[in-house]
Amino acid sequence: MQKELGPGFEEVIYQRALVLEFPGHGLDFSREVWIDVHYKGAKVGRKRVDFIVDEVLVEIEAKAALEDVDFVQTLSYLKASGYKVALLLNFGAKQLGIKRVVYEKGRR
């Protein structure tokens, strides 16, 4: 997919392309999944994650390089959602960037 599209498009283009790719690989997925954010037992908001693929949260970026804020945000999404593993995919660089992010309760 990265070779065909290349870098330079908005995130939504890569999201739409992944929607076409996932079924061909037998992957069960949901796109634009809302997760609740709680503080002291009270719901304080909602955030949308790009995909849930099987039991993995998948976040898409389209920038020259991933920044610390991308990792922090993805880790916060994991903490709020209850999922343990996320993939942070960056389609904005010349070569596809894939970073695995893991949340272990009690660790920061």
**What tens digit of pLDDT does each residue of 14-57 get?**
999 999 999 999 999 999 999 999 999 999 999 999 999 999 99
Residue with tokens 């880790």: 75
Q: Which amino acid is at 88?
A: L
pLDDT at position 106 is 62
CATH of domain 2-102: 3.90.320.10
**Where are the alpha helices (H) located in 7-67, listed in sequence order?**
11-21
Tokens 């903490």 -> residue = 79
pLDDT in tens, 65-85: 999 999 999 999 999 998 999
Does residue 92 carry a pLDDT above 90?
Answer: yes
Prediction pTM value: 0.90
Q: What's the CA gap between 54 and 50, in Å, rounded?
A: 13
How is the chain split into domains, by residue range? 2-102
Q: Which tokens hold the place of 52?
A: 């849930």
pLDDT band at 87 (very low <50, low <70, confident <90, very high): very high
Start-to-end CA distance of the chain, whole Å, equals 34
| pLDDT score at 107 | 54
pLDDT at 2: 79
- CA distances 67 to 20, 73, 79, 107, Å, are 28, 10, 19, 21
CA distance 89 to 86: 10
